[in-house]
Amino acid sequence: MSLRRFFLLDILAVVAAALLLVGCADKPLQYVRVEGQMLGTFMQVQARTDRPSAEIYAMMMQIDSASKASMSIFDENSLLSRLNRNETDQLDEHIIHCLELSRRVSEQSEGAYDVTVAPLVTAYGFAGKDREAKVNVDSILEFVGIDKLTISEGRLRKADERVQIDFNSIAKGYVVDMAAEALEQLGVEDYLVDIGGEVRCRGVNPKGGAWRVGVETPFDGNDTPGAYIEQVISLSNCSMATSGNYRRYYLDAEGRKVAHTIDPRTGRSAVTNMLSATVVAPTCAEADAYGTMFMALGVERAIEVARGLSGQGVMVFFITAGQRDEYEMYYSKGLESALGKVEGLRVIE
């Protein structure tokens, strides 16, 4: 049994013990819905269970607290923050899992995805206007690269003590997976977990059909989540995450869209006409990481990599900037039956 499984069982035990003080009688299976805030964004869970909604909510809050204590770069006391400051080299199960997955995605993308971009993110964050001209990229790239990290007997080894980790491109998906696995340990067979638009689901929705998740229309000014839906994808027993640059980009001197996604290979913001990359994958951590990877790769290379990942249960839906402000959309062949509409779309086979 993995350490993460022990961790989830501990959470469930604490929550169950607390609820015993209140008391709750056995109930038939029914759908409950809980909502709240996690990781600085919205959270909702729908689950068919005999557990009261208060127990599901308490479980989610326990997971939120535990994940922040481990992987938050915004909490100076988190384990990740202390690792970045070289105050410890001891790892926990969460960071080990995310590092191993990050290394795999980095290798599959030839370095277009890399969680050691933290120094670049920090430098750009303080640079303000004209940030590309102000940041000395070459000096920072010396200590960017996941190949500069190794794990030995549960400890982190750095080739350069200036290497720092930023899990923002994978942590939310990982926490969705933690919540989903906790529900499954409670015996829940039908559920949807949604944290900030990143989703993992199993079984059927309250109407007995597949879970339906929207992909937003990517246009400047679409600042209300869920207000404009471009496509609906029917899901069951899988995860989905979307990365996009249409809310955070600028035009360079040549009129090209420059994304907020940093390309770790160059140290610069990605120049791409990829507006959003939606990924369906077995786990939400994978979907989260691959979405960021595809944004950095750009459309042509992203399509090539997506073809190679199809055998691993990874499917994509890309929205790109075409001619005359029109969209061009691409989807994996395996996703066709799950899409609400495919007319005018380009298939990736």
Tens digits of residue pLDDT in 83-107: 999 999 999 999 999 999 999 999 9
Its pTM stands at 0.88
Q: What is the pLDDT of residue 127?
A: 40
> Using CA atoms, how far apart are residues 15 and 223, in angstroms rounded to an integer?
36
> Using CA atoms, how far apart are residues 340 and 184, in angstroms rounded to an integer?
28
Q: What is the pLDDT of residue 175?
A: 98
Contact 319, 218 (CB under 8 A): yes
Asked if pLDDT for residue 327 goes beyond 50, the answer is yes
* Domains in the chain, CATH or no CATH each: 79-158 (1.10.3980.10), 201-348 (3.10.520.10)
Q: What is the pLDDT of residue 126?
A: 47
Contact 232, 212 (CB under 8 A): yes
Q: What is the mean pLDDT of the chain?
A: 87
The DSSP-derived string for 34-59 is EEEEETTEEEEEEEEESS-HHHHHHH
Q: Which ranges of 149-265 does DSSP label H, i.e. alpha helix?
A: 171-185
Position 130 confidence tier, pLDDT thresholds 50, 70, 90: low
> Using CA atoms, how far apart are residues 346 and 289, in angstroms rounded to an integer?
23
Contact 283, 173 (CB under 8 A): yes
Q: End-to-end distance of the chain based on CA atoms, in angstroms?
A: 38
User: Residue 85 phi/psi, 5° resolution?
Assistant: -90, 5
Beta strands, E only, the chain = 30-38, 41-49, 149-152, 155-158, 191-195, 198-202, 211-216, 229-235, 238-244, 249-251, 257-263, 268-271, 274-281, 315-321, 327-332, 346-348
CA dist list (Å): 298 to 215, 257, 332, 345: 19, 11, 16, 18
Q: What is the pLDDT of residue 261?
A: 75
Position 336 confidence tier, pLDDT thresholds 50, 70, 90: very high
Q: What is the pLDDT of residue 220?
A: 57
Task: List beta partners, residue 347.
Answer: 331
> Using CA atoms, how far apart are residues 124 and 250, in angstroms rounded to an integer?
14
Q: What is the pLDDT of residue 136?
A: 86
pLDDT digits (tens, 9 = 90+) for 247-277: 555 555 666 555 567 889 999 877 778 889 9
Asked if pLDDT for residue 69 goes beyond 70, the answer is yes
Between helix 171-185 and helix 3-20 the angle, nearest 10°, is 60
Contact 111, 145 (CB under 8 A): yes
Alpha-carbon torsion 269, 270, 272, 278, what sign? negative
Query: How confident is the model over 133-155, as a mean pLDDT?
Result: 91
